[in-house]
């Protein structure tokens, strides 16, 4: 299953990933598409004191094979709807990496 291409937008030197986060889930991972322009991500971490945000950046960095410092929350710090900026990975490559993680 492919993730929606509209969830991945090219920005200077990387990709902006539009996602919907579900903290407090049984496990962390890429859950699939959320609508036509968003990726659903589940996190085992609770939404307390920024722990879920830290876990989200750590998870995406790990799945993409990049240092955690290259993943940042561009918007949605206090929301389940977020935009992540991932430096150094073009949209098509990021989409392929995350789609593969769903299998």
DSSP 38: -
Which domain covers residue 47, as residue numbers?
5-101
Average pLDDT over every residue of 62-75? 96
Q: How many domains does the chain have?
A: 1
The two three-digit tokens of residue 24, written as one number: 């407090």
pLDDT in tens, 93-103: 999 999 998 85
pLDDT value at 88 more than 90 = yes
Strand pairing class (71-75; 8-11) = unpaired
Question: In whole angstroms, what separates CA 53 from the centre of its chain?
Answer: 10
pLDDT band at 73 (very low <50, low <70, confident <90, very high): very high
pTM: 0.94
The two three-digit tokens of residue 90, written as one number: 């073009």
pLDDT in tens, 24-56: 999 999 999 999 999 999 999 999 999 999 999
CATH of the domain at 72: 3.30.1200.10
């Amino acid at each position: 299953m492919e993730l929606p291409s509209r969830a991945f937008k090219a920005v200077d030197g990387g990709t902006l990933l539009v996602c919907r986060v579900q903290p407090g889930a049984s496990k962390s991972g890429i859950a699939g598409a959320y609508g036509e322009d968003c990726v659903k991500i589940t996190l085992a971490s609770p939404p307390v004191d920024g722990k879920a945000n830290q876990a989200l950046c750590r998870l995406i960095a790990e799945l993409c094979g990049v240092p955690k410092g290259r993943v940042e929350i561009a918007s949605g710090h206090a929301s389940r709807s977020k935009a992540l900026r991932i430096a150094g990975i073009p949209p098509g490559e990021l989409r392929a990496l995350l789609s593969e993680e769903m299998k």
